[in-house]
Chain A
Amino acid sequence: MTNPILSLNNLRAGYGQTEILHDLSMHVNPNEIVAVIGPNGAGKSTAIKSVLGLLNISEGEVQLHGKNITNTPAAKVVELGISYVPQTNNVFVNLSVEENLEMGAWTRPVGIPERLDEMYALFPDLAEKRNQTAGSLSGGQRQMLAMAKALMVDARILLLDEPTAGLSPKYRGEIFGTIQKIKKTGVPILIVEQNAKQALAVSDRGYVLVDGANRHTGKGSDLLADREIASMFLGGGH
């Protein structure tokens, strides 16, 4: 059996006294895309934030390569190789595209020129706009920049929080295409998404969260084909 890169084991976590995640467990294996879907308020983003140490975990464990990193501060988590792209405000709007990428490499300050070239090859749109401020980019380009920034370090895993929220269908398609390209570079991805159909279509596995706990787990294609899930979370049955 493959050892997971990241695993969340029986997590209970929330904001202050309010518990959002109730006994939640999930894991991400090497070289796979895992989607987390569910209704609003199900605790999808909270699950990601619990990995980053952004909220208090009262019970359970977060493990990276089997090592306990529960409640580790975000800056240290990033240093350990977990890269995170928040849903909104995910680029430094007053910095140029290239400066944003350089900031992404803060914990890996060597070989930045080579890494920049790799990112520009993976995200060609950004190469043309390297001297523009991030605030002048379109929504889709900002998401691309946010992902490239997160990949400037040697990421062991990439956590994406609703990367297509508020984007046009054209950009949504581009983002999911890019996510598949990133997977080919060997970086596993945990993606929280509202566009459940598209997310499951590109994912190896998926988790359906309801009220802060796992409701369904399985291969992306199996979850897509499941009638109950389709009727409850994917906007109708087949």
Chain B
Amino acid sequence: MKSLALISVVITGWLLLSAVGDFPDWGDPDSPANSYRLSQHFVTETFHETAVPNMVTAVLADYRGYDTMFETVVIFTAGIAIISILRVFRTEDPGAGGPKVYEKRPDLIVDTTCRLMIPIIQLFALYVIAHGHHSPGGGFQGGVIFGASFILIALSRDMQAAHKWVPERRVLNLAGIGILIYAGFGLASMFLGYNFLDYAILHKIIPATPIEARYHSMLGVEIGVAFTVTAIMYSIYSNLASKGTMKEGL
């Protein structure tokens, strides 16, 4: 196996490096990728066309919104896939073999610190989601931070404590609803007579100009993304950490 690996690494590496001479220098503003009308348009026109100062958010949620919808679907798929592969739905325990479920007394210092930190983490997550139009952030980043707060609950106490906040069924509902929110914006524009995900037409149902409708719809889809990412991040953690039993975590 080792020699096969070495051979494929050498061949692939040589192939990839042979093209380096053809590439533009690092940081070259005149390289085709940076100077072509695609990236120029995204830099100079995004603000005029969507009113969003953060170009990454605008390109992510509007120009390439269809990609981003499927990106959310990828996360959702991973969550469902892990449940379908790993989850053990039967409740009865085989007795021998499995780790015993024991009462864990929460440590005072850990517990107090997490109790103080979790609200702040969640507040920050909401800020990252809501302020994604003006600063680095957005649904994915905020969703991951929010999901991390639930993981912290599960880590600092035990998985049952986290389950009180986010039972499994609620997690799956949140994930599905997140995608429905995203796709719902697309469907709404379709029913109003424009193409799928063309938010501009939504100015007919929300009090805004077409450009502002794009701005507000982007916030909407980012919230949908955040729902799904939050839910699935926690779901992935809880399934992997408990080996699919959802009883005892790390």
Please indicate whether A and B come from the same complex rather than being unrelated chains.
no
Interface residues of chain B, those whose CB is within 8 Å of chain A, are none
Interface residues of chain A, those whose CB is within 8 Å of chain B, are none
